[in-house]
Amino acid sequence: MLKPKHFFLLPALLTLAAIILFPLIFTVRVSFSSWDVYQTGLDFIGGRNYARLFQDTRFWESLLRLSGMSFITVTLQYVLGFALALAVWKKMPGGRVFRVLFLVPMMTTPVVMSVIWRTVFHESLGPANDLLSMIGIGPVPWLSSATGAFISVVIVEVWQWTPFMFLLLLAGLVSLPREPYLAAAIDGASPTRTFWQVTFPLMAPISIGAIIIRLIEASKIMDTVNVMTSGGPGTATETPSYYIYIRGLRDFQVGYSAALSLAYLVLMIITLTIIAKLLMRFLVGKDD
């Protein structure tokens, strides 16, 4: 039974409907239309866009590529972020300064930083090859070879988002209880053993949270790819987000790109749920 107090929920519900439900439902509707550069409006073509999607090898290849890229970048971000967090966790000279400095990359705009990194990796004029040539290496085809371009994108991603991992893990570290460390010290545990037997298990829940958040963000990588490589050479760095952008906003295949977006959303939800379950099972030892 509706009571007057329930109407206080109305603003929040309306906002939710406007910013989440409407776009989602509209996208679902668009995905069943042939809205295209030549076809205006919402006709109904059934599941034709979804059938086409299953035969779109470029989309599936981009998903595979993204899997590899996300695995590499998030793993590196986690390892580096954890190492940096451990380094400034204990009191050290200039620790506060380092904490701020480590966060700078995360606070910069991805597009602006991608432009700067593209200049750094410019094979004729960029400082990366200049520096390497001083030690007799190069020129390295940073952006014009498939491997080089992939590595370049990974480097930029790791540089930009390791601070995020650092921030979350440092927050986790400072909130750890002291008792287990006292017990470990009494038992004479070495620093390495203390880390693996105490710190790492205690940090598992927050590690899983940080990894999942970064995986979600990494799966949306688009601006770095767009600015640095345009998905190339060939399709070597093309990710699903960038591919959907091309189909939707460059080719103006609105209906098909809506189908791609929804399929991608569903795939990501399923994949990330599975990854979260597996991480919980292996790192924490339970499913929830």
Query: Most distant CA pair in the chain: distance in Å?
Result: 78
Footprint of another protein on 166-225 (CB under 8 A): none
Nearest distance, CB of residue 241 and another protein, angstroms: 14
Residue of 185, 252, 267, 281 that binds another protein (CB under 8 A): 252
Among 42, 87, 99, 139, binds another protein (CB under 8 A): 139
Scanning 23-31, 203-211, 245-253, 258-266 for contacts with another protein by CB under 8 A, the matching segment is 245-253
Task: Name the 3-class secondary structure at 178.
Answer: coil
Stretch that binds another protein, among 69-77, 101-109, 228-236, 270-278 (CB under 8 A): 228-236
Which one of 10-18, 79-87, 89-97, 136-144 is the stretch in contact with another protein (CB under 8 A)? Answer: 136-144
Tokens of 68: 């590899």
Residue 16 has φ and ψ, to the nearest 5°, of: -60, -45
Burial class (CB in 10 A: 0-12, 13-18, 19+), 145: middle
Count of residues that bind another protein according to CB under 8 A = 33
| Minimum CB–partner distance for residue 153 and another protein (Å) | 13
249 binds another protein per the rule CB under 8 A:
yes
The label of the residue with tokens 């030690």 reads 135
Rounded least distance, CB 255 to another protein, Å: 10
142 lies in the binding site for another protein (CB under 8 A): yes
Which is nearer to another protein, 41 or 285 (by Cβ)?
41
Q: Which of residues 116-135 bind another protein (CB under 8 A)?
A: 122-124, 129
- Please select the residue that binds another protein; options are 66, 88, 113, 143, rule is CB under 8 A: 143
Closest Cα to residue 225, out of 99, 233, 81? 233
Contacts of 211 (CB under 8 A, 6+ apart): 74, 78, 279
CA angle 252, 254, 260 (to 5 degrees): 115
Cβ distance to another protein smaller for residue 37 or 107: 37
Q: At closest approach, how far in Å is the CB of 36 from another protein?
A: 7
Tell which positions 67-126 bind another protein, by CB under 8 A: 122-124
Q: Which residues contact 223 (CB under 8 A, 6 or more apart)?
A: 110, 111, 114
Based on the shown chain and the rule CB under 8 A, indicate whether residue 144 belongs to the binding site for another protein: yes
Q: Following DSSP, what letter does each residue of 61-125 receive, concatenated? A: HHHHHHHHHHHHHHHHHHHHHHHHHHHHHS--TTHHHHHHHHHHHHHS-HHHHHHHHHHHT-TTT
141 binds another protein (CB under 8 A): yes
Nearer to another protein (CB atom), residue 144 or residue 194: 144
Using only C-alpha atoms, the chain has a radius of gyration, in whole angstroms, of 23
Give me 205's structure tokens. 């829940």
Of the candidate residues 81, 110, 172, 231, the single one contacting another protein (CB under 8 A):
231
Piece of 78-86, 94-102, 250-258, 266-274 that binds another protein (CB under 8 A): 250-258
- Round to whole Å and give the CA distance between 245 and 231: 11
Residues making contact with another protein (CB under 8 A): 34, 36-38, 40-41, 58, 122-124, 129, 139, 141-146, 149, 229-236, 246, 249-253
